[in-house]
Structure 1
Amino acid sequence: MEYRCLSFFLLCLHLPSPPPPLHLPLPHCLFRPVLLALLLISCTVSAKGADLDESVVTLADAPITLPCSHSPGLGAQRVNWLWKPHGRESWSLVHSANQQGEFYGGAMKPNQQFADQSFLSSGNFSLVFQARDGDGGRYSCEVQTGSRLTRSIVLLVILTVWVSPPGEVPIDSTVSLGARVSALGWEDGVSWFSPQGLPLHSEPLSHPRARGGVRGVLTKLPRVDHTDQGNYTCQILPQGNCTTPRFLFTVTLRVSGTKPASFNITYGSTQVLVGVSPSLLTLPCVWVAGGDYVMLFWRLPDTEEVKRVFLYDRWRGTLENSKKPHLHLARPNPAQSGDYSFLLTLNPGEGGEYSCEVFLDERVYRRSLIISVMHVWSDTFPSMLVLHCVVQERTRLRRLGWRFQDHSVTSLSTSPGQVSTELPLPPPPALQGNYTCCLELQDGQVYRAVYTVTLTPAVLISTSPPSLLSAVSVLGSLLLLVASIAMLLWKRGTCRQQSAMDRSLSFSPEGENLYEDLADLRQECTAYVAPEAAVYMDLKPNNEDVYKELERNEKCCS
């Protein structure tokens, strides 16, 4: 039954029954039921188009006053307050009073009363009660004066705010500020502001347990410190007719300087990846939807030095990246997708152990990746071409060596994790072709980098990495280059060198650069996952006869 039906019903109960007209054969006993039925139909139709006159917002468990006024001295005979909760279609009588006294309806509220005890004479029919979480909805104030009935509709919105964790929070912890409104659609007008008055990033928050699909907003303050203390303001902008332009509510945040934050850490499996410099490698991280912030730590190759190279706080919108432009997130919105993978451009020196940490409230998800980087290049001398192969991050290395056309060749270990092989210059046809540097890990996995030697003038260009050359070595290389050119012109011979990498990875001495097929590289990297147990091995030079060392290297990839 609609709200006007109930009020007219109360009005009709006090109307006298007039005599039936002479021209109607309607019995006198049926006059009042027919009148009530006609009023019921009229009330139901007109109530659906009722407009909202006022909106009021209050906190749960706080006193609230619903306004309703009438011109004094008009002789109000009856006042009815009706209530239709959110998501309901029927009205219930909350409070009612007449000239003789006062009585209450079945939907009473705690501490319910009129704001003015002389309401019939003053015309102030405002209703006061203690608002509870479920008291939101539409309230109708109806005043009967003689045969005239006036009404006003007030929308009551209940706001619930919370701070988690409550009380004084530990330093470096993540604080959540939440707000929930009882009226659907009002969450669009809810926002949070810092103690300095700056707007905070917030996101919609569903509350499936609340009636009527109530929604809210949530904002977070990761890694709080004493500068985050103060009063935070929740602002609500009305979504309908309202005399108040905005509603403001504050909560206080206090940060402890002595109580440290504690986190529940979940460790993922350690994965080993091998790439060839330069190439693009995907660093998979943990899969956590809705993470608050992510950090990436890097242990430099073959050392114990650890650096934080990446930090992203999606709530504050801050990003720190010390390896830019060689490192960036693989997804534009990792919090929504849950994918916090990185893309790393492999260059000499980029190997090592990368530890990814994703924080979600008091939980931390951690995963480590051990990246070994292979790099091959050549040095040119007057009568000799030297091919070098170096591996950075050797913790999982078992064997390293050169092969030519699927046959072992003499490999000289010049330093831990580096081998070289020598070719006469110009190389005879029998020594031209693919030279493969083979890397074998402790678990038996084998990775290869291919260097192609042909008879072209490009063989005269040195592709030694700049990081390995000093000023003196550069000058010496230039002198050797001039001598080599003179000798080759005298011999009228030409030679050429090209480089390539197995699985579509190639080396180009002309540009001193590498190019790769990214799809094949990703397939190769993701196809291999290291076992849980790992054996660490560091190759170091010794005083044994170098040919005994070379015999062991000849077994590489056999």
Structure 2
Amino acid sequence: MLLQYFIVVGMALLMTGAQSEVIEVFAEAGSQAILPCKCNPLSTHLPAIIWTKANKGTVWRKERSGLQYWGYSWSPKGSHRAQCPHSQFERGDYSLQINNVRDEDGGIYSCRVDNGNQVTENVVSLRIIKVSISPSVPIWGKDVKISCDVNPWPNGATVQWTLNNSRFLTPTTIMKKSFMREKADARLTGNWTCFVDYKGKEGRASATLTVMGIVQPSKDDTKVYAAVGSAVTLPCVFSSELIPSRKVWEKLKAGSFKPTPGRLPDSFSPISPSSQPSSDNSASLKEVGFQDAGRYRCSGTVEQQWLTRNMQLVVAKIDSSIPSKKKDSLMLDCQLSDTSEVTNYEWVHVVYDLNGTRSEGSILNGKTLSISKVSEENRGEWACRFYGKEGLLGNVTYQVHLMGGLSGQKSSGVSQNTVAVVGLSFLLVVLLLILIQMYKNHQRRKRIFQYPALETIVHTTSNEREERERNREKM
């Protein structure tokens, strides 16, 4: 290729009006490349134009008569990938446009313009640049090679990489000329751009890298927030193309240097049954307790690769207390099992009318809320919202009830209920006493009837006493 390059350049230098400069052009594979060719437009003669590629023959040419011709490889099935816009000829611009450039289009091109009394020739070096990823969609944890290919390669060029518009540079990156080799993980996901700088000209090409594995959550140690008593889902979703085997959930013990599995909460259950293969390995806790906070690990085997993702469940609750000096006041404290991401707390009073319409009161800032006097106005639902750098993290609610000991107020409704309760209690006591007396009488008669002789004596004695009393009255 270098020998052909020098031959073409040498021929151009020997021709009349030839330009000595070789023009460098970079084009990304699949895009449109414009090869410049400009000369003096003052000639009154119709020019003859021919574009050729070194060792490949004619690309496109136009005779003075206006007839156009294309090389065989540049006009497949009647479609012309290479052409010169006629609208620019009056300005002396005979640049060649190549659509959907391919890797094999790279090389040395020559433009020859014959105006009858002057021949101008330009030499253009077209370099096709592209970014390739191997394997095209790597699996998390496996090696991935990202290459910046240029055809023909410009010796002495410098190469730089950016990932998502930020320069990519890490001590673990193994670089040699135009490629790097990395372990596939979430940090490599995104748009990779290769910049090639050569003789003041810059070429660039881009490609998108997608890593297959656990896509949700996208990174380790993602925090999931939940309120005590609520239900929560711990996400663990694999790429849609992957169906993991040996799916495992574990709760990691706190305080150990090396994470070790612990006991899962009683309300923990996988969302997808193990009998049905699925890329979704998420799990749920039906009723979260404050003791359920901690780190959880989701794992699965994909193509003999063990993939894991750690996440942290942060549980929120509200503790209430009554200050000793103010019996009618209430103190609410918003507590989280981990506050490392929390930057701000807000309290808001939530009210529902008879139609169920929800409305909110003014917002109060702070981790704690002091209600100086519990009354009808501030009873009901209070919500504590906690925020991080990226916005709302979660919320937890507390129901404030109106109690006489706290409010210091006596209502007529309460007095009427008290009278009714006292009266009902008195009636029940009287009925109970009557039942007890009836039971005693019954038991006494029952004991007497067990001795017939004694009953006869008692009966006889009673008759004699009545007879003597009658006789005494007659006398």
Q: Which has the larger radius of gyration?
A: 2
Classify the TM-score, shorter chain: 0.3 to 0.5
| TM-score, normalisation: structure 1 | 0.33
